[in-house]
Structures are given as C-alpha cells and as structure tokens.
Structure 1
C-alpha cells in the first residue's frame, strides 16, 4: 500500500486530491501538512488521518511520515522549494499546476528528481477529462483534416478564493507569479499544445483593467505552432456579468465545438451538419483528475516513466509559453521559444 501525503490543505486539496487519494486502490492518505491548524483538523478528521500525522511543519511530515508520494497543493511560488524537499526526502511528487513560476525553477525541480531517482508529475488533469479525450479521438481519426486554428476563451468575474490563511494569493504577484493567465490559462495552453503541437512563437496583450489586484485581469495570447497552426487564447477575471465560454478547433475538413448546445459537436465538409460526439461518462468537476492520479500511481508501482503529457518536461514547455506571453505583454513584441 502506497502512503501519500498532501502539502497544503486548501480548496484544491479538499475538492480533488484528498477525495481521489481516499478512493483509489493501492494508496492511502497517510499524512497532511498545512500552516492552518483549522484546515489540518478539518481534512484530517474527514479522511481519518491520525492526529500524529497532521503536521503544521512540512519538514516534520517529510521526516516522519514515511511517505511514498506527496501531492503539492500550495500557492505557485512555494512549488519549487516544496517539490525539491519532498524529492530529497525520497518521495515521488505530484504537483498542482503550474510546475513553478519560472523556467529556472522548473529546471531545478527536474534536476532534483533526476538526482533523487524519483518521479515528478504535474496536474495537467484536463488532458484526461472525458471531453478532451473525445477531442483527441476526433483529431486523431482525421475527421478534421489538418488542424490550423485553436480558439479558447474563458472569462469570469473574479479569481477563485483559497481556503487557507491567505485566501487571495492568486491576486498577488509574488504568490501567484501572475494572474488568470498562469492560473486558468495554463490549462488552455497545455490543451492547445496537445492538439496543435509544439509552440514556436508567442504574442500577447496583457493588462489590468477592471480589478483592484496586483496581477493582470485580462490576457489575450496568440501562439504559433511548429506545424503551422495558430492558437488564440483569451482569459481573464474581468467579466462581472459573466461570459460565454468558447472553445473551438478548426481543421481543413471539419470543425469541433466544445460546449454550447451539447458538450461536443463535430461539423465536417462531407456531412455538412453538426453531429454530437459521444463522451465517456465523467462525474461533475472531476475533469480528468482520477485517471491522471491512477496513471501516476501505476508509474510508481511499475517503475515506469510517467506519461509524457503529465511530465515535468511537458509542464516546463507550457510554462515557457506563459512566461513568454508575459514578456510579450510587457515589450509589445512577439517572443520566440
């Protein structure tokens, strides 16, 4: 039985990490650490973690809990130090996205994993979601022809508040490393790379227009891909009245539309109509997280590489796009990758 620990008992640990670790076979949620004693008690009692295994100090948990793996669910700026500490303690690591706030930090995590002989995975969970798996099937079977454009737009009224001591860390430049682009937009970037291929150049307009926060509230990003495709991403916390989410993929012989009248619809030149695409059943709000964790556990048990899509190298590539977008937003010029 694998023993898992969680660093950070905030909202994402409560909604996704702890429930999944509590349900999957072959693993037990053995220890928790958080600076909030209230959060430690709440999650610890709910998931039957013994009081002696609820630690207010991360180093204490890593030294005493005899863990096989650690899930890191903390503000972005803490990822690098906590990941390296967990790896050096002998644990495998599953990090919430993003892997870190800088490419240099990502490289340090990768180097620490290699030195320790441990595995690192990043929660690119939406690649495992029922919806995205269906998108991949359509792209892979050739129904769209050659993909040339990916469009992804998602706006909300504000950031998601945390559940810990610092509930608004996402709006703070130090803790978050940025705003909606590095938070929500990170998912949009890795999904676009998965569909359209490796990124080569980035251009962005980024600003703060409707919010009294330290970070941007609006980001518009264009990504050029190695195969010639283009991605347009719009993301922000600037829509107090709400917004209509748009996600579409355009190919030489067809078009996919995510959401709207049905979860996924396909138009092809051959059929000249919209058809619903069948999705595998998925519990609301899981968004691919259980199968991602299961594949990470399988890699640990079987001593195989983690799937490329959740690897530290893949997350470094995603982060490089985000960092380039911030650079472009400041300079007004495109940035080569």
Structure 2
C-alpha cells in the first residue's frame, strides 16, 4: 500500500468534527469521500474544514463504497447502524474505524468479528483512552505482574447527559439502543476491562431512566472470574463531568481522578504521581492510520467492542429482571 490511507467518512455530525481535526494533522491520511443522509451536516463540515471543500460527497454509504476509491472508512453514525455499515465496508475490502459502541448486541459483535476475519482487514474502535499514557501505564504494570493481582475496582462517571442529549437520537432507544451506559459509559467499561484484563463472571445492576426511553443512571456490581469485585456507577443526570477510577491490586493501587493518575506502590509510604503522556500515536485516528500502514497494532480492536457489549448487555438484562446475570 502507498504511504497514504484514503478514508471515507460515514456520518458527518458533531463527533466527526473532532476526528477530521485530528486526521488533518496526520500527513498519511487523505479524506477522500463523505456521506451523510443530511446534506446540511456535510456542508457544515466542509465550511468548518476548508481542505474538504472539494471532497466528493454521497447520499448513502453503499453508494460511497461502490464508487469511491478508498482504503478505509471512519464511521460516526447513530449506534443502530454501526453493525451494517461495518459489515458492508469489510465486504467492500476496506479497513474500519468506528465510533463507540462498536455494536449494540453480542450477536452483532460476533457478526462483525466473523466478517473481519473473512475480509482480512482491520476493525478498530475509537476508544481514545487506549492511547493515553496513564491507562497504558496501569495496563503495563498489571499485565507485567508488578502491581500484583487485581482485587477491587471502583468507578464513578458523572455527566449532564440527560439534559445535554434531550430531544436527540441518543435518547431514542430504537436508534441509540441504550442510554448513558452505552454512550460515555462505554468508554468507562471498556477501559476498566482493558487495563485490568479481567473477565466478568456475574453482573447485577439497578437502572434509573427518569421516564426516558433509555438508561440514565446505572449502578453495577460486578464479580470477575479471578474473584475480584467492582462497583461501577454511570450517572447521566449529573450537573457536571466527573470521573474517578480506583483499581486496587495486591501490591499497588491506582487512582485516576479527572484524568490524573496517582499510584501507590507496595512497600512504599509515598504516593507517586504520573503526568499524562501518550505512547506512540496520540489519538485513535492516528493509531488507525498507522495500523493500516503496518506501523502499529490497532490499540482498540474489535474484541474490546465484544467485551464491552457483553458487560453492558448483562447490566441491561439485570436491570430489567432484577436478577444477577451470569456471563
């Protein structure tokens, strides 16, 4: 492959603006086609980013896949169409980077992974925390054994999500497939599973929707296969953004408060702080381009999408039935 990746963008709403801003800083990335069912969103994107002024546009992803000369696609459309768009793109012989959640069901996750294997292409998820130094540091210490065995995880994520998304597709269950737990909460669940390497065994959940179609506040109790326990609170009716993650291991404990990592090592009295740094690519878009070019591995591969939806789906089921769910 030439040292440039031709990308087609599927869905040109708000979050795609962030992706475009990052891709325009990657010299090997060439944004070569745009598609969105709403032409006004395409025009808004072009006005905001003049380099895209002459970029070809299409009224549907199928037309773009058939006509445009591409190496890969970036998907930032509503959640319920992710699976079909990923599968269609893989069948067109293209690599795929998708916004979270990868899919909305365990069944669809397996479908994507089967098509990925058949196509021999890459599927990545825009879980940007996989590129961030604080989380990569925690993963390395746990994976390498220095931190000891993970024994307990406590996490809280608060966001003014219910009011901020009122009237949008994110609160229409048929389109979003779920609420805050499936949106920003997807990042939290993914990073806990990724840095710890733990697999859930049992999930219990209480969910409050405040008469909305989708989950707003969720309280999860998780038991992992190694015996570790976790409490995860995702609060979509919080007046501000706040996130705390604590991971307690047999030798070390990690505290991530608003993106700042502090960790305490066994046998030491002092608490050390690590400033946030990035390892390799600075974001998921750059990592994806480098992965397509064979320079890096995809830092958030499709297996992360499967693991995240497994826990999320178990929480939804538990919240609906009032009973624990075994995985």
Give TM-score, length-normalised by structure 2: 0.89
Residue 177 in structure 1 maps to residue 173 in structure 2: no
Residue 117 of structure 1, CA deviation: 3.0
**Secondary structure at the counterpart of residue 101 of structure 1:** coil
Residue 201 of structure 1, CA deviation: 1.8
Shift in CA distance, 253/5, structure 1 to aligned 2, threshold 3 Å: same
Shift in CA distance, 147/52, structure 1 to aligned 2, threshold 3 Å: closer
Aligned residues of 1:156 and 1:239 also touching (Cα < 8 A): yes
**Secondary structure at the counterpart of residue 51 of structure 2:** coil
| C-alpha distance in structure 2 between counterparts of 1:271 and 1:9, whole Å | 50
Aligned residues of 1:75 and 1:175 also touching (Cα < 8 A): yes
Residue 328 in structure 1 maps to residue 318 in structure 2: yes
Residue 298 in structure 1 maps to residue 290 in structure 2: yes
Give the 5 Å matches for 1:145-160. Answer: 145-159=148-162
Residue 90 of structure 1, CA deviation: 2.0
Residue 185 of structure 1, CA deviation: 1.4
Aligned to 2:79: 76
| C-alpha distance in structure 2 between counterparts of 1:144 and 1:236, whole Å | 29
| C-alpha distance in structure 1 between counterparts of 2:164 and 2:32, whole Å | 27
Residue 205 in structure 1 maps to residue 206 in structure 2: yes
Counterpart of 1:13 (choices 16, 24, 30) is: 16
Output the aligned Cα RMSD: 2.6
Aligned to 2:236: 237
Shift in CA distance, 245/299, structure 1 to aligned 2, threshold 3 Å: closer
Counterpart of 1:252 (choices 250, 253, 271) is: 250
| C-alpha distance in structure 1 between counterparts of 2:20 and 2:241, whole Å | 31
Residue 167 of structure 1, CA deviation: 6.5
Pick which of 244-253 and 131-140 moved more.
Answer: 131-140
Shift in CA distance, 72/332, structure 1 to aligned 2, threshold 3 Å: same
Give per-residue Cα distances to partners, 1:64-94, cap 9 Å, x unaligned: 2111100000111010111122222221111
Aligned residues of 1:125 and 1:289 also touching (Cα < 8 A): no
Pick which of 166-175 and 312-321 moved more.
Answer: 166-175
- Structure 2 unaligned spans of 5+: none
**Secondary structure at the counterpart of residue 231 of structure 2:** strand
Counterpart of 1:86 (choices 71, 89, 99) is: 89
Aligned residues of 1:35 and 1:56 also touching (Cα < 8 A): yes
| C-alpha distance in structure 1 between counterparts of 2:295 and 2:134, whole Å | 29
| C-alpha distance in structure 2 between counterparts of 1:94 and 1:188, whole Å | 19
Residue 47 of structure 1, CA deviation: 4.6
Aligned residues of 1:148 and 1:230 also touching (Cα < 8 A): yes
Aligned residues of 1:249 and 1:256 also touching (Cα < 8 A): yes
Residue 161 of structure 1, CA deviation: 5.3
| C-alpha distance in structure 1 between counterparts of 2:33 and 2:52, whole Å | 6
**Secondary structure at the counterpart of residue 160 of structure 2:** coil
Aligned to 1:266: 263
Aligned to 2:224: 225
Counterpart of 1:317 (choices 298, 307, 314) is: 307
Give TM-score, length-normalised by structure 1: 0.86
**Secondary structure at the counterpart of residue 52 of structure 2:** coil
Counterpart of 2:52 (choices 45, 49, 57) is: 49
Aligned to 1:285: none
Shift in CA distance, 65/161, structure 1 to aligned 2, threshold 3 Å: farther
Aligned residues of 1:31 and 1:49 also touching (Cα < 8 A): no
Matched length: 322
Residue 140 of structure 1, CA deviation: 4.8
**Secondary structure at the counterpart of residue 323 of structure 2:** coil
Aligned residues of 2:22 and 2:286 also touching (Cα < 8 A): no
